[in-house]
Amino acid sequence: MPDIFGVIADATRRDILRVLLERFQQDAEISVSEIVGQLEISQPTVSKHLKVLREAELVSVREEGQHRYYTLDPEPLEMVEDFVIPFLSAGFDTEVTVEYLSEEGERVPGPDGDDSFDDEEVLSEEAAAAAERIGRAAARAEHRVKELVARFRLKG
């Protein structure tokens, strides 16, 4: 399998992946001619890049007669996500401090009666893992929003 970073380094392939992602989110496939129409690039160019994406296992293809229909397989991109997320989250403080406050805003002892808040375990291991997944989803969403804003700026 080709190096995923080399595959997504090409701007045209990233554009094709964006089109495939839109269809993937609609739980649908897309034909080569539809990709050509959306991106306004030649059919041979699209086919060449789709071949690279197939070899990287980023897309699957269904043939029907002379037509080919493509579907995104985002699983190989998880390697990219695993590499990038630490950079996106660098500098974020993940330590949680818990304080119990009265309705008047005064600090009060916790449920166990202890007034010590320094080393309190706040989340179970499962909850911490779920929180990490939510954080990753939020980072992806933030990246997508930034990407959309950048696209609108280019078009506007």
pLDDT tens for the chain, 156 residues long, are 678 999 999 999 999 999 999 999 898 999 999 999 999 999 999 999 999 999 999 999 999 999 999 999 988 888 888 888 787 776 665 565 667 777 787 877 766 666 555 555 566 778 777 888 888 888 777 777 776 666 666 555
Cα dihedral sign for 39, 41, 47, 52? negative
**Per-residue CA distances from 141 to 21, 80, 86, 137 (Å):** 14, 15, 15, 6
Is residue 24 within 8 Å of 18, Cβ to Cβ?
A: no
Domain ranges in the chain are 4-72, 89-155
- Give pLDDT, residue 115: 57
Q: Which helix (H) or strand (E) holds 84?
A: helix 77-88
Nearest to 136 by CA among 95, 93, 81: 81
CATH classification code of 4-72: 1.10.10.10
Cβ(7)–Cβ(13) under 8 Å?
yes
Beta strands per DSSP E along 74-127:
100-101, 107-108
Contact 39, 50 (CB under 8 A): no
